[in-house]
Copies of this chain bind each other. A is one copy, B any other.
Amino acid sequence: VDKKVALKDIAQKVGVSVALVSYVLNGKEKIARISQEMAEKIRAVAAELNYQPNLIAKSLKSGRTNTIGLIVADISNPFFSSIARIVEDEARKYGYVVIFGSSDENADKQQSVIDVFENRLVDAFIIAAASGTEKQITALKNRGVPVILIDRYFSGDFTDSVRLDDTLAAEQAVNQLVLNNRKKIALVTYNTKALHMQHREEGYKNALKKNNIPFKNSLLIKINYQNIEAEVAEKIAKLIDPLQVDAFLCATNSLGVAVLRTVYRRNIQVPGEIALISFDKSDVFDFFYSPVTYVSQSIEEMGKAAVTLAVQKLKDPTPERNSTIIIQPMLVIRKSCGGKTSD
């Protein structure tokens, strides 16, 4: 087990001060006007000793860690792990590394992850914020830490965010179902005040109204995040025995998969008896006997935008306005929604 080599070691070997070595190795020999040959010699010895800078020491000096903290609901959810991958790659391009934490949609847990990350002097946060945590986010901002919201957002323009046009997305989905002659369209969503979910609900209601379909409360199904499979099974059971719906719009991929599972178990024909559209993407949607129509949001676009915003804020920490980047939804139409398709 070798001892790590430090600037001091190089300095000693070359017979020069630590300061010189630091300048040279940081490419500041011009500024410090260090002689060519000395610079060469220092670089040679550094290479010979295989010098690796101690980034922790650099961080203590600079207050920067080149680390981005990514907080999502659950890293094992494919939606979030795909975002994580994009964020990782994009961050690396700028010399940043990503540390992650899952909030499980729980405000307390989110706060504790924020605390831990902040004490480690994470440079910026990218957060898919749990519902009801706007105070956490504003507090962070007030402490001068850049925060980019992703997927989730709050009303008001208090931080940068990257999000889907949720209202539009839901409207498009409902319109498609109506186009395919569905009139009894249920929305399966989470029991939450989270704004992105509220907007999906709003889009659903808007589209019903525009199509002259009365909204029925019994067709608005709210599921608790902690208990998805069981609640979906139970609440859907009530709607299909006897059949009171002819379509489901599922507000996330987890809900979509849960609904599929129930529908599949109960042997309900898709799209014969009920049509189906889900938000987000899932491999599962491709393999269901009736491939599932879904609202696609470009994860690549979202992840890249989030990192770009973070890096910008880091470069110029005092911009007066916050950016909101709105990703356009795309409805990928396949068999499950009941129209004529090639798939």
Question: Which A positions have Cβ atoms within 8 angstroms of B?
Answer: 1-2, 52-57, 59-60, 65, 67, 74-78, 80-82, 84-85, 88-89, 97-102, 115-121, 142-144, 257, 260-261, 264, 282-284, 286-289
Contact = CB atoms under 8 A, between A and B. Distances in A.
A119 B284 contact: no
A88 to B, nearest CB: 6
A75 B65 contact: no
Contacts of A142: 1-2
Contacts of A54: 60, 119, 121
B121 A102 contact: no
Given A102-B88, A260-B287, A121 B55 contact: yes
B52 A56 contact: no
A57 B55 contact: no
Contacts of A75: 75, 81, 84-85, 88
Give the number of copies in the complex: 2
Contact of A74 (B76, B85, B143): B85
Nearest to A83: B76
11 contacts: A2-B144, A52-B115, A53-B119, A55-B121, A56-B121, A76-B82, A78-B81, A97-B120, A99-B100, A260-B287, A261-B287
Contact of A65 (B56, B76, B84, B289): B56
Contact of A143 (B2, B288, B289): B2
B283 A52 contact: no
Contacts of A99: 67, 97-100
- Across chains A and B, which 9 residue pairs bring their CB atoms closest together, nearest first? A81-B81, A1-B144, A76-B85, A55-B119, A283-B284, A76-B82, A99-B99, A55-B120, A76-B81
